[in-house]
C-alpha cells in the first residue's frame, strides 16, 4: 500500500513538473516582467545615446550644418547629440560651462543633456552651503534646449542641473554658469549659454530624441 502511494506521489510530481514546463511560456514572461528587465538590458539602456564630445564630431556637425548654406541645399539637417554639442561647445562657444576632456552628450525626449566629471571646488561658491556636503569631484549634468534668438545668435537654455544625484534649484543656475566662466553675448538669457552661429541657421528643434536644424528663410 505504501509503495503504491509513493508511486502515485512520484507520478503526481512528474505530471506537475511536465505541466509547468509545457506552460512556461504563459507564466515565465509575466514573472520576468514582474521583477523588471534583466541586468544586461538595464546596462544597455543606461549607456545608450551618450556620445563623447570630440573635435571629429564637431567637424562632422559643422559640415552637416554648412549644407544649409547652399542655395540648392536641404532645408533641414539632422544631427546626433555628440555632433551638435561638440560643434557648439568646441567650435562656437567662448567658454564651455564644464571641462570637455571626458564630456558626453545625449538626447532624452525633448532635451539635450551634457555631462562631465568636474572639480566641485571650482563651483563651491555657486552651490552655497550644499557645496560643502559634496565630494571633491562629481558629475555635473546640464539639460535643456537649443534656441535661435535672432539671426546669428543662439543659446542653450539650461532647464535642469544635477551635481551627482543632487538637483540644483533653477534660481542657482545663472550663478553656477557665471562661476563656471560662461560669458554670453548680450541678449542671451541668464540661465543660458550663448553662441554666435551662422546666419543661415534659422531654427533648432529637439523632439522625441531627434535634433533638427532648419535653414533660415529669406
For residue 66, being part of any structural domain is answered with yes
Encode the chain (218 residues) as per-residue pLDDT tens digits: 434 434 434 434 433 344 433 334 333 333 333 333 333 322 333 445 899 999 999 999 999 999 999 988 899 999 999 999 999 988 887 766 667 778 999 999 899 999 998 877 766 666 665 565 667 788 889 999 999 999 999 999 999 999 888 888 899 899 888 877 788 888 999 999 999 999 999 999 998 888 999 999 87
Predicted pLDDT of residue 58: 94
The verdict on 199 and 93 lying in the same domain is yes
Predicted pLDDT of residue 119: 78
For residue 45, being part of any structural domain is answered with no
The verdict on 8 and 71 lying in the same domain is no
Predicted pLDDT of residue 128: 62
The verdict on 125 and 210 lying in the same domain is yes
The verdict on 109 and 180 lying in the same domain is yes
134: exposed, middle or buried (Cβ count in 10 Å: 0-12, 13-18, 19+): middle
**CA-CA distance, 138 to 118, in Å (whole number)?**
6
The verdict on 142 and 165 lying in the same domain is yes
The verdict on 20 and 93 lying in the same domain is no
What is the rounded (10 degree) CA torsion for 187, 203, 162, 91?
A: -80
For residue 42, being part of any structural domain is answered with no
Domain with 11 in it: 2-36
The verdict on 31 and 136 lying in the same domain is no
**CA-CA distance, 68 to 76, in Å (whole number)?**
7
The verdict on 59 and 165 lying in the same domain is yes
Task: Please count the structural domains in the chain.
Answer: 2
Helix (H) or strand (E) holding 93: none
End-to-end distance of the chain based on CA atoms, in angstroms?
98
Amino acid at each position: 500500500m505504501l509503495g503504491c502511494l509513493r508511486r502515485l506521489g512520484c507520478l503526481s510530481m512528474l505530471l506537475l513538473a511536465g505541466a509547468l514546463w509545457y506552460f512556461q511560456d504563459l507564466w515565465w514572461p509575466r514573472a520576468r516582467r514582474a521583477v523588471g528587465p534583466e541586468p544586461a538590458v538595464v546596462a544597455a539602456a543606461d549607456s545608450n545615446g551618450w556620445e563623447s564630445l570630440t573635435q571629429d564630431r564637431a567637424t562632422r556637425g559643422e559640415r552637416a550644418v554648412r549644407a544649409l548654406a547652399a542655395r540648392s541645399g536641404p532645408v533641414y539637417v539632422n544631427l546626433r547629440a555628440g555632433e551638435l554639442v561638440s560643434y557648439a561647445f568646441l567650435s562656437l562657444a567662448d567658454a564651455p560651462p564644464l571641462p570637455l576632456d571626458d564630456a558626453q552628450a545625449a538626447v532624452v525626449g525633448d532635451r539635450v543633456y551634457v555631462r562631465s566629471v568636474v572639480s566641485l571646488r571650482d563651483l563651491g561658491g555657486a552651490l552655497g552651503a550644499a557645496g560643502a556636503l559634496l565630494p571633491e569631484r562629481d558629475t555635473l549634468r546640464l539639460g535643456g534646449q537649443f534656441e535661435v534668438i535672432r539671426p546669428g545668435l543662439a543659446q542653450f537654455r539650461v532647464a535642469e542641473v544635477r551635481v551627482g544625484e543632487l538637483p540644483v534649484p533653477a534660481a542657482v543656475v545663472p550663478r553656477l554658469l557665471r562661476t563656471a566662466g560662461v560669458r554670453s553675448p548680450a541678449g542671451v538669457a541668464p540661465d543660458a549659454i550663448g553662441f554666435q552661429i551662422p546666419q543661415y541657421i534659422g531654427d533648432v528643434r529637439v523632439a522625441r530624441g531627434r535634433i533638427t536644424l532648419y535653414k533660415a528663410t529669406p
